Homo-oligomer: A and B are copies of this chain.
């Protein structure tokens, strides 16, 4: 029986981003990341600041934690991080959820492969653009996308790139052209992580969203795409655990 480093279990709430935006879901947030993005909105998962809150939990205990919060009011669980793809034995949790008829979504930046990727119902690969300060390992990313394609999983997979500026947008175009068969999402970045006033944050995020829409509409390299805000940030601002 494997134990996972868990930082938060919360919900039900909505998924605020990406391929199943709006989906009623529970969240399990795992600790640890192999990246350190400049604008990471969950830096507490890897910067040591929440180290004392990490609980080592078995799949069984995670399941109990989910049921304690969500009762019978959910059928979908999102595993987020950090980078949950660091956890080799996550299939123990995924299988247990599937056994209860619960769908599983997961997001990772695509820095490493895990066999259990092929079991995720809604898999988001989110390579990080230049503004993050991180460098994409294209060989690893190619191999992840190829393996998912070979396993017939592309209908359960999406690519998502967060965009803060023109350079990020160029990066997004490059990703989309490299993997044209994978559903592609552009997401407006939130670099106002200190803004405590939700209404004022929503106004700024909507302005940036409009900028991103305008830029994508002008491009003929970005046609088969979806452009989304983080709807949870529009509603709850920078609050955690909602």
Contact = CB atoms under 8 A, between A and B. Distances in A.
A213 B22 CA distance: 9
A219 B20 CA distance: 19
B206 A234 contact: yes
Given A23-B226, A226-B21, A14 B73 contact: no
A35 interface: no
Contacts of A74: 223
B225 A24 contact: yes
Contacts of A12: 217
B73 A219 contact: yes
Nearest to A229: B231
A220 B72 contact: yes
A224 B20 CA distance: 11
B235 A24 contact: no
Nearest to A12: B217
A199 B203 contact: yes
Interface string A230-242: 0100111000000
Contacts of A222: 24
Contacts of A223: 24, 73-76
A210 interface: yes
Nearest to A24: B225
Given A73-B219, A199-B203, A203-B202, A24 B210 contact: no
Interface in A88-121: none
A218 B21 contact: no
A178 to B, nearest CB: 18
A185 interface: yes
27 contacts: A13-B213, A13-B217, A14-B226, A14-B227, A21-B21, A21-B22, A22-B227, A22-B228, A23-B226, A24-B217, A24-B226, A24-B227, A73-B217, A73-B218, A73-B220, A73-B223, A74-B223, A75-B223, A76-B223, A202-B203, A202-B206, A206-B234, A209-B235, A228-B231, A229-B231, A229-B234, A231-B231
